Amino acid sequence: MRCPSFLDALDARRIVGHHLLLTQDAGRAHWRALPECPYGTPMSDLLPLTMAERLIRQAMTPFPVEAVPLEAAYGRVLRQAVHAERALPPYDRVILDGIAVAWRDGQTGWVLSGTQAAGHPPLTLDPGHEAALAVMTGSVLPRGADTVIPREDYRREGDTLILQKGVSPKRGQHIHPMGADCAAGAALLESGLILSPPEMAVLAANGISQPLVSAIPSIAVISTGDELVAPDAPVAPWQIRRSNDYAIAASLARRGLTRQTLLTLPDDLAILTLKLDEALDTHDAVVLSGGVSMGDFDFVPKVLAALGVQRILHKVAQRPGKPFWFGIGKSGQPVFALPGNPVSALACCSRHVVPALLHAQGVTLPPCHVMLAAPLTPIATMTRFVPVRLGHDDQGRTLAYPCPMTTSGDFNRLGATDGLVTLPPGDTPLSAGTGLVFHAW
Ligand code: AMP
Ligand code: MG
């Protein structure tokens, strides 16, 4: 008997092509209420990629916010808006070393009466036009002054300063007026940014010493399979060195998701049940690889179901990575179960796991578009992921050079690639120059 279609279970009015249109009140609870397949077998329909992405996003609970010392905030996801603490610059700022004067057209000499250093309250220029105060880059403009003359534009004779020949200062020059950069309260940073060097400077300059950022989730990265051995263990001819967990861990770490526990489990129902239960209890997210296909020892979906992980989807119309499984644990943790084949596992990680975890951290990144450097043929019924190496053409545009793998187990040549491009399902070959969305590994 055929398992009822996943799509049949939904209100048809919410389905347009391969997309789900969510009604106003359709939230996470709605998705969770979808009927489980009553026959206990995975749903046979392959979910279109766009729908899978939407279901995952809908099911993810945002990770909490925490305040961290500014020194520890680099690379974290900002979860607050930042406004200018005060007008910037906060005073009329001298922008180079020289003298400050009250400018009068035609004047060529001044008498030095003191020094205005950076970080000191403003001095007052003697009245009239004869006096000058030495000023330093970053100091306040002394009261009564309106013009700064750079050091190289005058010479000193005793206490007298004489303008060099050919120099003609303009009133107001070399002063960065108060508020020229922004007014007090101006919006400077938005929530959802990944903090990079310039944003660190903005936080510091505006007195944010404990920025609010997304908490880094603790993630269990679990390999499953009786054939797997560690990189440093003896390997029998019938065994495989495990590599997925290292690739997945690296893919997460480069996005700042560094709180990881790596674990390898055998294809044993009892051990899987015990250890996955522990992992679910102690982690905010779980990323598995292997054991989600149709083999006799592919126990992962069954064990997750027994542990109360609500299946959101299983099997996506994508190649590689068709057996991908995703669900939500009892306390809301996302559980990603990736196929074991290394290319599939890494493709699912960068195409599903990373975007979902970034989304739950509140990250708002625009899609990265690249141009195909060589033709590629899509798959009529499925989304195709193709590993690519990035380069640039002579106009500086980013090109994606396809490096298709012969099989999803053929991962040794992935080393020359930067990520993958997504080819939507279709019949028409894509020519060089086609724009596609790129996801880094
Ligand atoms: P599975 O999805 O468990 O059927 O595994 C598919 C293929 O991926 C098999 O050839 C496995 O040996 C291989 N595989 C599974 N897990 C890993 C891993 N952690 N590292 C490398 N290869 C793996
Ligand atoms: Mg396996």
> pLDDT higher for 425 or 5?
425
Query: Which ligand 1 atom is nearest residue 289's CA?
Result: 16
pLDDT tens digits, 228-275: 999 999 999 999 999 999 999 999 999 999 999 999 999 999 999 999
Peptide bond into 425 cis (omega under 30): no
Q: What pLDDT score was predicted for residue 262?
A: 97
Mean pLDDT of the chain: 90
Ligand 1 pocket check for 408: Cβ under 6 Å: no
> pLDDT higher for 407 or 438?
438
Ligand 1 pocket check for 290: Cβ under 6 Å: yes
Ligand 1 pocket check for 387: Cβ under 6 Å: no
> pLDDT higher for 43 or 373?
373
Q: What pLDDT score was predicted for residue 17?
A: 28
412, pLDDT greater than 60:
yes
Categorize the per-residue pLDDT at 90 as very low, low, confident or very high, splitting at 50, 70 and 90: very high
Q: What pLDDT score was predicted for residue 283?
A: 98
Ligand 1 pocket check for 339: Cβ under 6 Å: yes
Atom 10 (ligand 1): residue with closest C-alpha?
A: 341
32, pLDDT greater than 90:
no
Q: Which of 221, 224, 228 to mutate to test the pocket of ligand 1 (most atoms within 8 A of CB)?
A: 228
What CA–CA distance (Å, rounded) separates 47 from 24?
Answer: 23
Lookup: tokens for 423: 């080819």
| Residue 352 DSSP one-character state | I
340 Cα: distance to centroid of ligand 1 (angstroms) = 4
Ligand 1 pocket check for 383: Cβ under 6 Å: no
What CA–CA distance (Å, rounded) separates 88 from 32?
Answer: 49
What CA–CA distance (Å, rounded) separates 79 from 250?
Answer: 24
Q: What pLDDT score was predicted for residue 406?
A: 81
The 10 Å CB-count burial string (b at 16+, else e) for 196-208 is eeebbebbebbeb
pLDDT tens digits, 190-230: 999 999 999 999 999 999 999 999 999 999 999 999 999 99
Q: What pLDDT score was predicted for residue 417?
A: 97
Overall average pLDDT of the 79-87 stretch: 98
140 with 92: CB under 8 angstroms? yes
Bridge partners (DSSP) listed for residue 134: 99, 115
Q: What pLDDT score was predicted for residue 395?
A: 94
Categorize the per-residue pLDDT at 45 as very low, low, confident or very high, splitting at 50, 70 and 90: confident
What CA–CA distance (Å, rounded) separates 329 from 43?
Answer: 19
Q: What pLDDT score was predicted for residue 405?
A: 85
Overall average pLDDT of the 119-125 stretch: 98
Atom 11 (ligand 1): residue with closest C-alpha?
A: 340
From the centroid of its chain, how far is CA 93? 36
10, pLDDT greater than 90:
no
Q: What pLDDT score was predicted for residue 222?
A: 98
User: DSSP 3-state helix, strand, coil percentages of the chain (rounded to 5)?
Assistant: 20, 30, 50
288 Cα: distance to centroid of ligand 2 (angstroms) = 11
Cα→Cα distances 315→46, 311, 322, 353, Å:
5, 11, 5, 15
Q: Which ligand is nearest to the CA of 243?
A: 1
Query: Which ligand 1 atom is nearest residue 223's CA?
Result: 19
Ligand 1 pocket check for 320: Cβ under 6 Å: no
Ligand 1 pocket check for 97: Cβ under 6 Å: no
Q: Which of 251, 289, 343 to mutate to test the pocket of ligand 1 (most atoms within 8 A of CB)?
A: 289
Overall average pLDDT of the 177-190 stretch: 98
